Structure 1
Amino acid sequence: MNYFNFKRRSLFSGPHLLGFLFIAVGIFSIVSPAIFANDTSFERALVVGAVAAIFGAMIASTAQPSFTYP
């Protein structure tokens, strides 16, 4: 077991799942002012949702490196 090759990755496990969860939370944050009646401004919900969705997209799209141990 000298080589670990992570080229075959699953998009629904590990940190990629966390990225998809951030994207889902971002979308929910953007849509929530239309669903719930609250005092939160739409601009604030839009900024929070966009930041969460962009952060989630960055996590979900990262490639896992392949490590070689001596």
Structure 2
Amino acid sequence: MHASKGDHLVVHGRVVGTKDHVVEIVEVLGPNGNPPYRVRDGKGHETIMSPGPDSVVDHRKASGQG
């Protein structure tokens, strides 16, 4: 898994009917784009994540970002 600052991390719901959780990657802490990542959710909360196999990186940048 490789990511860059500004990418989104999508954690798929583990139970049928559970929505995906999407967070923005604000800092890549591992070498060469590898985890762990510092992420921010839609409410502004930040944490450090090492994503599991239920996660994917969305490389599309949010609108308005370079």
Which bin holds the TM-score, normalised by the shorter protein?
under 0.3
Quick check: which has more Rg, 1 or 2?
A: 1
Structure with greater helix share of residues: 1
Where relative contact order (Cα < 8 A, 6+ residues apart) is larger, the structure is 1
TM-score by length of 1: 0.21
